[in-house]
Amino acid sequence: MSDPASAVLEAHDVSKAVTGPAGRLEILRGVSLSVPRGDSFAIVGASGSGKTTLLGLLAGLDSPSSGRILLDGHALHDAGEERRAALRRQLVGFVFQSFHLLPALNAEENVMLPLELDGERQARQRARQALDAVGLAPRAGHYPAQLSGGEQQRVALARAFVHRPQVLFADEPTGNLDQRTGHAVGDLLFDLNRQHATTLVLVTHDMKLAERCAHRAEIVDGQLEPGA
């Protein structure tokens, strides 16, 4: 584990390239960043700039072509998929634009799922507490198709925070919501983040949401340009 006063997430000269029919495509080039524990960091940029690719690398969903990534002191860049998956279960929460709830499970069961995968004996109790924290305790037995978009994203937030992650990665968390609902979900995201002292790494097109983060950076031509 890294020292509590140090960065919980670091990237050092990270690059990502893929090879396709047109040859080699460089998506990211020489990206470096450091996110202090408990802080919030927004990554912005045009569509196709590599924001989601960078988020996936920082979260251990993929490996960089070169460079180093450290998550809570653990090296992700040279870890195999099994090791990265274990670190994600232990340290990371996710919120996606498209919610990613399982349609055959109700709200409570969706929130319970990551706890059950870890063998948590109090999974149901903790899931109910998490749903209560996002104001959805009365909807615990409803299935995703019976919930509005804002309610589905609140279930996704409950699921992301229920196992108390060190870092929460959010990829366009308000992108599928109308302005009013998106603002409410944004409020809830930052409220939960403060309550849990979680480090937040956010990718968004919404500059108002990005401006709520302590730090911002923009991806331009595959490189990260520091902002505020």
Mean pLDDT of 174-197: 89
Query: pTM of the predicted model, to two decimals?
Result: 0.88
> Where does the pLDDT of residue 1 fall: very low under 50, low under 70, confident under 90, or very high at 90 and above?
very low
Is 60 exceeded by the pLDDT of residue 3? Answer: no
Alpha helices by DSSP H, listed for the chain, are 51-58, 81-91, 107-117, 123-133, 149-161, 179-196, 207-210
**Cα–Cα–Cα angle for 27, 8, 58, rounded to 5 degrees:** 20
Residue 105 has pLDDT above 90, yes or no: yes
Q: Predicted confidence band at 227 (pLDDT cuts at 50, 70, 90)? A: low
pLDDT at 162 over 70: yes
Q: What tens digit of pLDDT does each residue of 106-122 get?
A: 999 999 998 998 888 89
What is the bridge-based pairing of β-strands 7-20 and 23-36? antiparallel
DSSP state of 36: E
Where is pLDDT greater, at 35 or 6?
A: 35
When pLDDT is cut at 50, 70 and 90, the band that residue 228 belongs to is low
| Fold of the 38-64+81-226 domain | Rossmann fold (3.40.50)
- Average pLDDT in the 50-66 region? 93
Where do the H-state alpha helices sit in 118-217? Answer: 123-133, 149-161, 179-196, 207-210
pLDDT tens-digit profile of 205-216? Answer: 888 999 999 999
Of 71 and 23, which is predicted with more confidence?
Answer: 71
pLDDT tops 60 at residue 2:
no
